Amino acid sequence: MSSTIDLQPLVEQVIQITKDVGYFIRTELRNFDRSMIEYKGKNDLVSYVDKRSEEMLIKALTKVLPEAGFVSEEDSANHQLSGKEYHWVVDPLDGTTNFLHGLPIFAISIALMQNTEVITGVVYEINRNECFYAWKDGGAYMDNAKIRVSSTQDLSDSLLATGFPYYNFDQMRNYLEILNGFMQNTHGLRRMGSAAVDLAYVACGRFEGFFEYNLKPWDVAAGACLVQEAGGTVTNFSGGDDSVFKGEIVASGEVHSQMLEIIQQHWQK
């Protein structure tokens, strides 16, 4: 890691940026007109709130670290890593569908990558005003309190989070078998509608684990950093390290191997 970047004060700046933009999002929610919803694709919704929030975040983050590039949701030119050493990975409103329907679970998610490694993560859950953050080798926190993943040892005592695909249904039959396996062997499954929030809740022990596929880097990069720095494990469905760009993720505390066992019984590589 470059010695020129002190990660803790950088994260503190990012936290303030997310709270400023979160105030804008919260304000717009009060009078949002659903006729202004746009469609990027089947069931892939967006609004001026997403777009304006991303513009605000990129402008502010550029001032924090001018040499960094961006991997961001709403700008199609920034969907992949470029040749730069550092990249901000930005989701201006993770849980857009919840926001557009007035459901109070959505967040801003910001990670910083050095080459292919995530070195910071900030997830600001706007409605509860909870900010989760972490930096490499610095631990994970929620509002100044250190957090840890759940110490639950057995899958049968676990509450898990997941998400459902909304445009690619090729693996749906296999996914339903995975859901069936978890429903019969856990305290239950929850579908919050924001992968960033799901991962933050794994990091602080509210969920024992989270799994989903059809995800983008901006959905999971910050949350993956949170879980790892909170003592958890993050892999793809095959157990490999590539979860940010692979499109599939399993994140948990002590039940990781048990989760992978059920997933791998049904998932087709």
25 neighbors 53 (Cβ within 8 angstroms)? yes
Question: What is the rounded distance in angstroms from the CA atom of residue 223 to the CA atom of residue 234?
Answer: 10
Question: What is the rounded distance in angstroms from the CA atom of residue 47 to the CA atom of residue 72?
Answer: 15
Residue positions forming the annotated binding site:
73, 91, 93-94, 219
Distances, alpha carbon 167 to alpha carbons 45, 164, 175, 180, 234, in Å: 11, 9, 14, 21, 24
Strands 233-235, 248-252: pairing kind: antiparallel
Residue positions forming the annotated binding site for Mg(2+):
73, 91, 93-94, 219
Question: What is the rounded distance in angstroms from the CA atom of residue 168 to the CA atom of residue 166?
Answer: 6
Distances, alpha carbon 19 to alpha carbons 23, 28, 186, in Å: 6, 14, 35
Strands 69-72, 86-94: pairing kind: parallel
User: Residue 142 has which token pair?
Assistant: 């929620």
